[in-house]
Amino acid sequence: MASFRFIAFIGLALLGGCKNPKSGSAPDQPQVLRVADQLQVLEPLLAAAGENKPVNYTIQWSNFLTGPAEIAAITGGSVDVGWMAETPLIFAQAAGSPVKVVAASQRAIPGTAVTAVVVKPGAAIHSIADLKGRRIGWMPGTVTQYLVIRLLEKQGLSAADIVPVVMTSGGPGMLNSGTVDALVTADPYLSEMLAAGQVRILATGGASITPELQYVVAGSAPLVDPQRSAMIGDFVRRVARSFRWQREHPAEAAATASRTYKVTLAVANQIVHRAPSRYVPIDGAIVAAHQKEADVFQRLGLIRERVDAAKLFDHRYDQVVAKVEGGR
């Protein structure tokens, strides 16, 4: 691992000092790191925290609805880095996609979660057991699917006991139209729907249900390129600092969320305070939590063979993250 870190840090130094070999003195063309955001979380957060303008490269943003779509873009080579929950990486690894987890965050307050199963306020559904035979909306291959599976299993049920419906949005549309009886959603949709009185929370993730991990994910090709690997390391540092800034400046973070999602400040405050995150070095507990989730999908036949979760993680930036949260 030390050799990877050495390459990354040396590459970062080269970003600021390399010259164009054709002229001997002219600088290279500006370097670009192509980043896949999800639901416009990272881009405004980094901007608010003052972390969106690196000196030696620029960030080119793309926005996606789900992690699987990001992984497809990374695998296809149209982006270098993505940000997502843990579940899509299980399917990516099982399919042999050339992606690696290079940084991970956990909930700063244990037991909190941004994902929830919701129903209409007046629905005759008051427990997970009441979901039997009902139509439940989730996004396949995402943490929304895993949350429902885990909740059902704790009640002695399985996915065969419900009618899964593929969601196209995290909003209330499918509930309002009667297409589903319950759906899995997350912030910013969750806080907005709660504030509008459109939904009632039936159950949430967190604690023993879902690991509530968020990953920075990179393609294999960028990671073997010294310059792009260096940019990824710097980007990881900026992401970790931004989430720390969000925890330490909740009022400013809420104002940013209010503008980004076009919601009231009260709703934005709920988004910021619901489940704050902190980046941590990738340790055995994170790998074990990921493996446990992967084993559930393998047992259910949703992936063919058991994957070795440890092979998914790249530890070269662990010390970068440790220094951010250590205040150094």
> 6-41, pLDDT tens digit by residue?
333 323 333 333 333 333 434 456 799 999 999 889
- Do the domains spanning 2-107+212-325 and 115-204 agree at the CATH topology level? yes
CATH of 115-204, one of 1.10.10.10, 3.40.50.300, 3.40.50.2300, 3.40.190.10: 3.40.190.10
Q: What is the pLDDT of residue 102?
A: 98
Q: What is the mean pLDDT of the chain?
A: 90
Q: Measuring CA to CA, which residue among 220, 253, 223, 216 is closest to residue 237?
A: 216
Q: How far apart are CA 252 and CA 218, in angstroms?
A: 29
The domain limits of the chain are: 2-107+212-325, 115-204
Looking at residue 213, its amino acid is: L
Q: Are 253 and 269 in contact (CB under 8 A)?
A: no
Residue 11: what pLDDT? 38
pLDDT number for residue 39: 87
Strand partners, 215: 84, 104
pTM metric for this prediction:
0.86
Q: What angle do CA 314, 319, 324 make, to 5 degrees?
A: 120
Task: Centre a 10 Å sphere on the Cβ of residue 248 and count the other Cβ atoms it contains.
Answer: 11
Q: Is 19 exposed, middle or buried (0-12, 13-18, 19+ CB in 10 A)?
A: exposed
Say what the pLDDT of residue 29 is: 61
Residue 49, amino acid: A
Place of tokens 């579940």: 87
pLDDT of res. 207: 78
Q: Which CATH number is 2-107+212-325 given?
A: 3.40.190.10
Distance between CA atoms of 241 and 288, rounded to whole angstroms?
25
Low-confidence ranges of the chain (pLDDT < 50): 1-27, 328
